[in-house]
A and B are shown apart, each in its own frame.
Chain A
Amino acid sequence: MSKRSRGLVVALLALGPRLSAQTGPLLFVSNEGSHEVSVLSGATNAVVATIPVGGRARGIQTSPDRKHVYVAVSDDHPQTASSADAIAVIDIASKKVVATYRIGSDPEQFAVTPDGTRLYASNEDGGTATAIDARTGKQIATFVVGIEPEGVAVSPDGRFVYVTSETSNSVSVIDARTNAVVANVLVDLRPRAAVVSPDGKRIFVTAEVGGTMSVIDATTHDVVQTLRLERGEGKPVGIAMSKDGSRLYVTNGRAGTLSVIDVAKCSVIATIPVGKRPWGVGISRDGRFAYTANGLSNSVSVVDLSTNKVAATIRVGQRPWGVAVGY
């Protein structure tokens, strides 16, 4: 290969992710039933790869540098730690599992700190949350939180971690600097997922049985607002926020819909029918599309957020649980 053509290859390799980004997002969908991750092209709305992970794949997140996707994997026997209970690390470029971190029994959801150095995971059956080093998988700290911990969110500055607990109806606030639980907040019934506003001032938490979304003030740790969704009977689970913090997107599992919420007004401005039992939801980096993992339809709905209509439905594995936007 000539010097010139070698240079061209290097340049193309360097441009690779950028070129892909121009053609549409790359999405990673965890399938709880079929123990695999489906990789979708947002450009063609088609499955481009399937990655087996050896257990129930649930929580799924992208590293801030867009090089890796982490997926929580557990076996079919909660309460006992086994070799299948782990966080699998998928290399986005090769679409292969490149590492596996042990993280206590039954990991379900987790969050990555904005600097990419740590993962905070909930251990559903242990009443604990665990912090691990994102590069080595080494456990850094364990925190006692409420019973049946579930959703995890990190503030944009990485200082605070919020863990929901479904049985205790609570959100525990962890100070990542001191490695201590500094507050516990009562929210509505069966809190599932949480998201923090870009300015770090508000935490939004879905409550599956309460049928609502609670808004927590990050300074006072008070619930300042509770928004009822789908007459309180839609079973809200997944939540995502637009980059500018103006919109929230909540999946309603029982209702089979995606609620679009105007954050400033704290009101629902659109309700979009998607597949059956949508749980996880991801937003494309350009903010144009929302993707819902429809657990009982074995599909992902692609929602065009400019029209608030489903633009495509993509068949994935069995019982899709969550969606991570790779790039």
Chain B
Amino acid sequence: MGARVQLSVRRLHAAIDAMIVTLGSVTRRVFIERSATFLSSLALSPRGRWSLRAPVSLRIGIAAPLSMPRHYRLGLELGLDEARHAATLFGGTIVDVPIATPQGIGGVLSAIIGAGDESATLAWTHRAAGSNTTYMNVSCTSDRLRRDDCSRAAFHVAPSDAMARDAVSAAKSSSTTRAESWDAALTRFGADTLNQRFLTRFREPMTPAAWNAWFAVKAIWESALRQKSGEPKQIAEYLAGDATQFDGHKGTPLSFRSWDHQLRQPLYLVGGGPPQQIPEIRGDESVREALDRLGGSARTPSCGATDE
């Protein structure tokens, strides 16, 4: 596993980051192709104008990678690879920085991604807030983190317990049903292509954990690209922006709720037959209204109190 993710390899030296990052997990042929594309993109456009946008330098902290369950790491790996592919097109570098403990947070980090339990998530979030960066929670479903212990520094990709409860109670049948953020059998809205990319790369199906981690990287990279900056303040502003939305291969635009930074997203009822997407979006409501029917009823005006 460790050899595949190569999280430790890439922190060695800032000066060779770009080289390592570009070489990471790609074949020589692909590397040469991408380099050629990148170099060609540096050329003047036919009308005498530089076509390359300002390169974005992104440093993503990975919280406690050695204790991170395998599928989160696989999701991170695919997300980082895809972001690096895009970086060859748009310019820029993406460095992942393994951090063993919250106390180890140092230097400027665009954001941190972690898959801890409730107490670990609180500790990482607290430290991230102190370092003026963002913590992306991809695993912990605790409602407490979205309510009493809500922090402006935390963004939750993992669906909350409240969301899962609302989704399951909307189910029309079967008491064995559970609600997940992803399913390897999904096909619509490009879900088949994402599932295939994962399956081809790792020879196993994409789990909800893997999707959460993959999406966290995508959201951070896209924020940087749209903001033309890898600065943590810029990333956090974009993630929380009211007009901001992301595509996660779920067919509806995804966004973070302003009051608790929970990702609005459809869930999938699994456990009996093909996965069923919840909520169904009615003709008279917006996508956001529909998605807020999952765990979005209890707003938290005091969110951010724990940052102080």
Contact = CB atoms under 8 A, between A and B. Distances in A.
Contact of A182 (B43, B86, B192, B199): B43
Contact of B222 (A127, A145, A169, A221): A169
A211 B247 CA distance: 11
Interface stretch (A26-34, A41-49, A183-191): A183-191
Contacts of B51: 173, 182-183, 221
Interface in B80-127: 82, 85-86, 88-90
A310 interface: no
Contact of A147 (B49, B86, B199): B86
A167 B88 contact: no
Interface in B47-101: 47, 49, 51, 82, 85-86, 88-90
Interface of A is mostly: loop
Contacts of B226: 186
B45 to A, nearest CB: 6
B196 A147 contact: no
Contact of B41 (A78, A79, A142, A182): A182
A204 B13 CA distance: 43
B6 interface: no
Interface residues of B, number: 39
B189 A209 contact: yes
Interface of B is mostly: helix
Nearest to B88: A144
A180 B286 contact: no
A166 interface: yes
A254 B105 CA distance: 45
B193 interface: yes
Interface residues of A, number: 41
Contact of A146 (B89, B193, B196, B247): B89
Nearest to A145: B89
Nearest to A209: B247
Nearest to A170: B89
Contacts of A144: 33-34, 37, 85, 88-89
15 contacts: A78-B192, A78-B193, A78-B196, A79-B197, A143-B37, A167-B249, A172-B89, A178-B40, A182-B46, A209-B245, A210-B253, A219-B47, A220-B49, A221-B45, A235-B251
Interface of B: 33-34, 37, 40-41, 43, 45-47, 49, 51, 82, 85-86, 88-90, 189-190, 192-194, 196-197, 199-200, 222, 225-226, 245-247, 249, 251-253, 281, 286-287
